[in-house]
């Protein structure tokens, strides 16, 4: 009886781990999400470092390109933290390190109030829908589907982050996964159209 219980528990655990390993985005998927970085009342420059060891990167175009090369960037591991760490940056619950090496830390003055780091998730296909705003475990914010948009914002506690700039959505709508290919180093290149 004990053997049956142990085998049953092991089988359930194995099935769960297999399901998580194959959850989206999977190897072979090619998703895009617009993003913007907003500090107090100003949008910041795009990240331009294209380093990508695992399959989540940017081409300096204001988009996160999510097409996992391996399990480190697929399923539950496909996170915003993976995007920032690809180029040596970082996001945690209180700070963000950009590709320039600049570190932005919450608590800065914004109209007399301290800033808080927030990640707002928007649906690029339903822009009238209110965003989901996250303030904890920011590095673990997962990509849930193709055509999302994110604003990583340092704003006062009661302020909702704005949607990314309109041109980010416009470019997101024009990106065609068939225009992307991988070069010999495993780093994708984009042809604009």
Predicted local confidence at residue 188, as pLDDT: 37
Residue 183, domain member (yes or no): no
Residue 187, domain member (yes or no): no
Residue 124, domain member (yes or no): yes
Residue 80, domain member (yes or no): yes
Residue 71, domain member (yes or no): yes
Predicted local confidence at residue 8, as pLDDT: 62
Predicted local confidence at residue 23, as pLDDT: 82
Range of the domain at 160: 2-176
pLDDT profile of the chain (193 residues), mean per 10? 63 49 82 97 96 94 94 95 96 97 97 98 92 97 96 97 95 69 36 32
Contacts 24+ apart (CB under 8 A), 49-53: 49/87, 49/88, 49/89, 49/99, 50/87, 50/187, 51/86, 51/87, 51/88, 51/187, 52/86, 52/186, 52/187, 52/188, 53/86
């Amino acid at each position: 009886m004990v053997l049956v219980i142990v085998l049953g528990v092991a089988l359930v655990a194995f099935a769960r781990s297999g399901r998580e390993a194959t959850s989206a985005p999977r190897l072979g998927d090619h998703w895009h999400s617009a993003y913007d970085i907003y500090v107090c009342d100003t949008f910041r420059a795009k990240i331009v470092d294209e380093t990508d060891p695992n399959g989540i990167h940017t081409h300096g175009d204001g988009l996160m390109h999510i097409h996992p090369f391996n399990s480190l960037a697929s399923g539950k591991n496909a996170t915003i933290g993976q995007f920032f760490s690809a180029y040596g940056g970082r996001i945690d619950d209180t700070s963000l390190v950009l590709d320039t090496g600049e570190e932005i830390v919450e608590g800065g003055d914004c109209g007399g109030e301290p800033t808080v780091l927030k990640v707002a998730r928007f649906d690029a296909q339903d822009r009238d829908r209110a965003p989901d705003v996250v303030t904890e475990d920011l590095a673990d914010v997962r990509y849930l589907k193709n055509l999302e948009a994110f604003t990583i914002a340092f704003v006062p506690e009661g302020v909702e982050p704005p949607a990314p700039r309109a041109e980010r959505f416009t470019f997101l709508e024009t990106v065609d996964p068939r225009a992307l290919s991988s070069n010999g180093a495993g780093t994708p290149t984009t042809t604009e159209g």
